[in-house]
Amino acid sequence: MTIEKRIQKLRATIERHNRLYYVEDAPEITDAEYDALFRELQALEAAHPELRSDASPTQRVGAAPLAEFGEVRHRTPMLSISNAFDEEDVRAFDRRVCQAVGAEVVEYATEPKLDGLAVSLTYRDGAFVQGATRGDGTTGEDVTLNLRTVRSIPLRIKSEDLEVRGEVLMYRRDFDSLNRRLRESGQKEYVNPRNAAAGAVRQLDSRITASRPLRFFAYAIAEASRVDWGTHSQALERLARLGFPVCEERAVVSGAEGLLKYYERIGRKRERLPYGIDGVVYKVNRLDWQERLGFVSRAPRFALAHKYPAEEQTTEVLGIEVQVGRTGALTPVARLRPVFVGGVTVTNATLHNESELRRKDVRIGDTVVVRRAGDVIPEIVCVRAEARPAGAKVFQFPMKCPVCGSAVVKNEDEAVHRCSGGLYCPAQRKQALLHFASRRAMNIEGLGERLVDQLVDKDIVQTPADLYGLTSKQLEGLERMGEKSAANLVAELDRSRKASLERLIYALGIRNVGESTARDLARHFGDLEPLERATEDELLQVMDIGPVVARSIRQFFDEPHNRQVIRELIHRGLRWEKVAPAPRPSGQVKSFVLTGTLSRMTREEARAAIEAKGHKVAGSVSKKADYVVAGEDAGAKLERARALGVPVLEEKEFIEMLQNL
């Protein structure tokens, strides 16, 4: 291909992507890909000036406005800013500015480069009269009605004429909430916050715009409005005093060193900002120097955008594997052809769960857009369906856990697949041991996270049953375990061999079975063996157990590995007391919530007294609660009870009722 034909192809490609990005709000490539195309065209035109053309996208900004909107001609052009991608670009910019204005050191106004939609706001006698998009830089779209719905834009300021430039954007959390609502209603989600904001501003129906969580940040006063300020930073202070939101992360710095330090500082806090940015902007602070520097055909000479490493890139899916988390959740992970994104080389990206994998239709062999932001795990944003090869393979979830071979289960009410081998699976081993030893379970004092890490990493303990085979000699060889500590832990383990049934049930770590449910199961079945054999229908007869919990219990005991660990626990000497069946109250079962400090009994004694009568103690206040028992210093639960109209009992009233239950 000749250089002339390559230039023509680049121009056509860039114009197409301009239209997709600015007009149709449906980008097909990432910002990094667009920047690469644009830089290649700039370089070719610079090397071959005879091939330059006024029709080239390097000589203009954006794209033409949509025909459905009225046109607004900007009194001062809304030009884009040249980009810098490394330190030398910044130093070269500073050298050019210093040389042009005849100064050794230049002061710059700096601010984050907000990732939104640029707009212009016009005020007449203090009233907001017109709002426009940037469009092609000279002519934009009249979106006044839509911008009036953005609550952070003042509808009236002090009585003066002013043209304000700024960015309409969407906070990350608002974007996530919007996409969640769209997903739940079966609508197409937005790719990123920038396109969500642009799509909202450019709605023909302003009621739709009003329903979107848009925000506005002012970043300049147009040259045509300048009156009595001499620097860009003073103009921003003026905007802030008038009530316009202005980015708090702005600063005034001196020279190239100041610019680079600002870039690093904002880069470190980039992911903590509530909004997305893709770089920082440097502007010569003195406005008279801005005028002296002037413009090139496409951008001002007095400003520069210093970009951060791209957070989105395209790559190929080489394979899909499954990782098992510490709670048994199976997460599909795409193995990627290595790609540099967000400042690091990425080789894996999470696909979250099967629902997300199917919704995005990711297949082995696909070309995908990968996003990485800071320390966040990389994820696949979307698939380039038009680039899908004929042999792309659909991934099928395994029926057996890839770590331990236990059955994989997926409940209808959950998005994730789970390994059912909770007590046995090596991927869940540390979490299972810590839960088993926790204070409200087997209460094994001294068996903390650091010690569990060593026991598992050295392959000394594989299941909770192995804990009861530990010897002092084994423990003494571990870090921070002396003779006395080892002896104390062995004694603790020996003491825990005799436990209450409800503690044992809770210690098993059955999904959805908390302390209260474990207590109900113990009182209902009286022993572990009938609980192991219980069908889902029989489990549903237990007070407050529904289909989800019943299914979780059955799935746990259906896994042979879990039953084997229980047999080994018994073999190691674990014993529990059988529980007498709970009395059935003659009337309806009452639900109590305890809050505050009681003077005549502890909360645990009050709970035991209620349950001894066959009634229920709930942990939180809801409309289903029959009574809230309020002691001294009762807090939020008491307030919620009053708000919901749940009857409140003082201690004396509670004791009288308890006697009559």
User: What confidence score (pLDDT) does residue 54 get?
Assistant: 65
| Residue 35, Cβ density class (10 Å: 0-12 exposed, 13-18 middle, ≥19 buried) | middle
Q: What is the token pair recorded at 636?
A: 């939020």
Running DSSP on this structure, what letter comes out for residue 350? E
Question: Can you give the pLDDT at residue 297?
Answer: 66
Sheet of 591-595: strands edge to edge? Answer: 616-618, 591-595, 627-630, 648-649
Percent residues over pLDDT 70 in the chain: 95
- H/E element, 306: strand 303-307
Tell me the per-residue pLDDT of 390-413, one tens digit each, with 9 for 90 and over: 999 999 999 999 999 999 998 877
Report residue 1's pLDDT band, with 50, 70 and 90 as the boundaries: confident
CATH classification number, 71-307, choose in 3.30.470.30, 3.40.30.160, 3.40.50.620, 3.30.70.141: 3.30.470.30
Residue with tokens 């825990």: 496
Q: What is the pLDDT of residues 25-80, one digit of tens each?
A: 578 888 888 888 888 888 898 888 888 876 677 765 544 555 578 889 988 888 88
CA atoms of 561 and 449, how far apart (whole Å): 24
User: Per the residue annotation, which of 9, 113, 410, 616 is the catalytic one?
Assistant: 113
The predicted structure's pLDDT at residue 62:
44
d(CA 411, CA 152): 44
Q: Domain 312-387 adopts which CATH fold? A: OB fold (Dihydrolipoamide Acetyltransferase, E2P) (2.40.50)
Decide if domain 591-660 falls under CATH 3.40.50.10190. yes
CA neighbor of 609 nearest in space, from 656, 647, 541 = 656
The CATH H-level (homologous superfamily) assignment of domain 3-59 is Helix hairpin bin (1.10.287.610)
Query: Could you confirm whether 113 is annotated as catalytic?
Result: yes
- The number of beta carbons lying within 10 Å of the beta carbon of residue 367 is 17
375 pLDDT band, cuts 50/70/90, is: low
Give me the pLDDT at residue 60, please.
Answer: 55
Q: What is the pLDDT of residue 55?
A: 66
Q: What is the mean pLDDT of residues 354-365?
A: 91
What residue ranges do the domains of the chain occupy? 3-59, 71-307, 312-387, 416-577, 591-660
Is the per-residue pLDDT at 23 higher than 60?
no
DSSP secondary structure, 596-616, as one string? SB-SSS-HHHHHHHHHHTT-E
CATH topology of domain 416-577: DNA polymerase; domain 1 (1.10.150)
Strand-pair partners of 112: 280
